[in-house]
Structure formats: C-alpha cells, structure tokens
Structure 1
Amino acid sequence: MPHLPTSDGRQPWRAHVLTLFPEAFPGPLGVSLAAQARNARIWSLDTTQLRDFGLGKHRQVDDTPAGGGAGMVLRADVLGPALDHAQNLNPEAPLIYLSPRGTPLTQGLARDLAQGPGVTLLAGRFEGIDERVIAAKGLKEISIGDYVLAGGEVAAMVLIEACVRLLPGVVGTSESLTTESFEMGLLEYPQFTKPRDWDGRSIPDVLLSGDHKKIETWRREQSERLTADRRPDLLRSRGQKPT
C-alpha cells in the first residue's frame, strides 16, 4: 500500500515487519477498526521477506548455534542487510526485536510508540537471532509476555494493534481510551448492557440511577477492587498498598 498522507495531510503511522512468513500479515490487523484505519491511510503496513536476503542458492537464513546446542539461529549477515533495507524506508522508526527477554509491552510503551513515526519490527524464528545484530543495529527488545512463541509474527501483530488503536481517528471517542484497563494504572471496571435482568442476575442499581457522580464513584471502587484482587503489582507501581 502506498504511503499517502491522510485526508488532513498527516503522514500515516508506518509499521514494517521483517519476517520469514509475510503471508501471515495482515492477519487480525485486516479486520475491524485496524482495517478501517489502514484503508483511511491513518497507518500503513509493509513486510519484508527475510529469505530475500538469504545466502546461496537455497537462500539460507540460519545456522547452528556457536558452542553447540539445539535449534538454529538467524544469521547476522542475513539480518544486517535486511534491517538496513527496512531502516532506509523509515529512518526515524525504532528498530524493535520481539523477544521474550525484552522490556514488557505496556500501555504506556504502546502510547509512546504510537506517538512516533511508526515501528520496524523483527519477527524472529527458531532459537533466536545472532546477538551481534542486536548490538550493531541498536535493536530494542520488547516482550509481550513471559512465555515463548514459535515466532515473532503474533507478537508483532499484538504490538501493532496496541499502537494503532491509540492513533487519532481510530477509536471513536477519547473517553473510550482513557477508561480502559491500564490507562490509569488500574483494571477496567465491570460493564453491563441490556437486558436489565438475565439468568437471575441484575445490572447494579447504581448504574441505572442516573446519578453520574455515584456511577463514577462506583466504577472507581470496582476498578480498585479488581486491581487489588488480580493485579496488586499495578497498585504497588502506583505507590499504593493493596487492601
């Protein structure tokens, strides 16, 4: 997709993924709000096939680990030129390697990335990548959680979606964003809708009272209770003591 400006003249936020499986994209980024925003040129998505930079007749991209061990490691002399190619396309975008040992992806980090020109993401495979690439190219390592995936493609989609939905014009109202989990350092309060009674359970009376101050107080209390029960670490990070 060409990187045309949006209707108000802004350049789109650009996501570029280096991967052995470009056919995995756009995946879930091709539906709903993310797809609508991409069609509106609020953001763009490009992929680079790492095997295009592979070596020899068979386009080799990996080799056995130095020092022995299981699996294969993506080669520095393949990743280096591939990253140079991607960086030339969007020089201001940070170079990010999706890695389980990286900095945890948080709402705050997603917000920071969304405010920039975009991201260039390296989706690894096998046992990982040659460490020298991380140092030489200044890659920032980011993790989406304490678990291991077969590759970085799904992690790249998670990071991109977390950023895209924060771009101006993607989500309908700013209030929808500010009341979500993690935006205020708390988990989101419970939500209800019609019917009023279902399966022997009713919507809390306060939500039907029309008293906006009481509703706001109830929602705040519910957020704090849920956070204390499920994610007390979030309260500690805010300097609060879970009760």
Structure 2
Amino acid sequence: MRIDVISAVPEIFESPLNYSILKRAQNKGKVEIVIHNLRDYAFNKHKQIDDKPFGGGPGMVLKPEPFFECIEKLKSERKYDYIIFTSPRGKVFEQKIANRISLASNIMFVTGHYKDIDDRVIKTFATEELSIGNFILTGGELPAVIMIDAIVRLIPGVLNDSESALNDSFMDGEVIEAPAFTRPAEYRGMKVPEVLLSGNEKEIKKWKTEQSKTLTERWKNFNN
C-alpha cells in the first residue's frame, strides 16, 4: 500500500509515523507513506497558501491553487482508490471503514489547517470526507494519523500476531473485547480471574464472551 498525505504543516507527521507499528510496517515494505508539503506548490515567492474568506468572517482559508497543483501531479503518477479529506463535516471514521480502506493499494489524505480548505478543492477531488468526531482541532493532520494507524495495522503481515487485529473491539460489529491480564497473577492484592489461569478453554471462552457482553452494554450506555 502507498499512502500520500498533503499537509500545510508536514512536520506534525514526523514523530507518529516513525515509531512503533507504523515504523515497522514501513520497514517491512508493507506500506509506503509519503508526506507532501503544500507550500511546495504555492505560486508566489512568499509561499502563501491561505487568504481571507470571501463573504467575510474570521480565520484564514487554504487557497485552491496549491491543492490543485499537488493533487493533479499525484494523480498523474498513479490511480488512487481513495482521496480522503479529513473534515469535521465528514462521516465519522469507524472500524468498518478502516477495514474497507485497508484493502486499497493507493490512498491519498488531504488535510486542512486553519479555518478550512476552499470548497472547490473538496468538490473536485474528494472521494470521501471523514471525521474522527464532533469536535474541532487546529488541523486535519492528527485525524489523518489516527486513520492511517487504524488502516495500516490491518494490512497482512504488519502485526506479528495476525489474530490480534481480528480479535480487537469493533472488528465484529459493535462489540467490545474482553479485558486483558498478564503476569504477575497477583499484584498489590489484585488477582487475575481464576478462570484465565485454569487452562479450560471452554470456560475461558465463556468468561470472555460474558465480559465482552458486559463491556459492550456499558459502551452502548456511554454513547446513548
């Protein structure tokens, strides 16, 4: 998989993309992530990429020209399965969307910053607009990182244990995974449930199913 990301502040991606699972996925050749600086496609000598909004109002809007130049250049080099704009007005990103996008070969993320992106860019190029929730951030870079992480970890061979992702919460619809425990079996008077130490696979599966059901109901109550 190749992921291209367009950003006005590309430095934001340096740390999260170079550690842990995302770094390992790149080292294994499972994914190539390329960050494009929007300012490299600005026309004037000052590398201006934003301007005041027509119709008045606060904030600055990212200009259309740099986006058109960058996106058209990238599209001339390869065919994209998805061109995703991170936006609070988009559909809320969830596990089933990550599952679908993880099957793609080429993805482009277009991230805004400041007030917004000129709407002509979105209408021309977006195949999807995705949000991570009903709140506002300074820019779309962090939502892009979150989505990239959720997508890349699903690519076969990225995780050392392929079963790990399959058993995660939300992989089987709106179901929360059972709680997890590891050594030591007792810590500060808190003991691991006996059933998990029993070796009885049938009883362990039953316990996990019951715990999953309880946590799922709690999650649904939180979100009602």
Q: Which interval holds the TM-score relative to the shorter structure?
A: over 0.9
In structure 1, the partner of 2:133 is 145
- Of the three residues 163, 187, 197, the one matched with 1:208 is 197
In structure 2, the partner of 1:34 is 22
Gaps of 5+ in 1: 1-12, 237-243
SS at match of 1:110: helix
The within-5 A match list for 1:170-185 is 170-185=158-173
Cα distance in 1, alignment partners of residues 178 and 77 from structure 2: 42
Relative contact order (C-alpha < 8 Å, sep 6+): which is higher?
2
How many residues are paired up?
Answer: 223
- Of the three residues 122, 127, 145, the one matched with 2:110 is 122
Q: Which moved more, 1:197-206 or 1:75-84?
A: 75-84
The within-5 A match list for 1:1-243 is 13-185=1-173, 186-232=175-221
Q: Normalising to structure 1: TM-score of the pair?
A: 0.86
SS at match of 1:119: strand
- Deviation at 1:196? 1.2
Contact 1:187/1:226 (<8 A) preserved: yes
Cα distance in 2, alignment partners of residues 166 and 121 from structure 1: 18
Gaps of 5+ in 2: none
Per-residue Cα deviation, 1:27-48 (whole angstroms, up to 9, x for no partner): 2221122212201211001111
SS at match of 2:116: coil
Q: Which moved more, 1:132-141 or 1:156-165?
A: 132-141
Percent of pairs with identical residues = 37
SS at match of 1:231: helix
The RMSD of aligned alpha carbons is 1.7
Cα distance in 1, alignment partners of residues 80 and 16 from structure 2: 26
Cα distance in 2, alignment partners of residues 229 and 23 from structure 1: 38
- Deviation at 1:232? 4.5
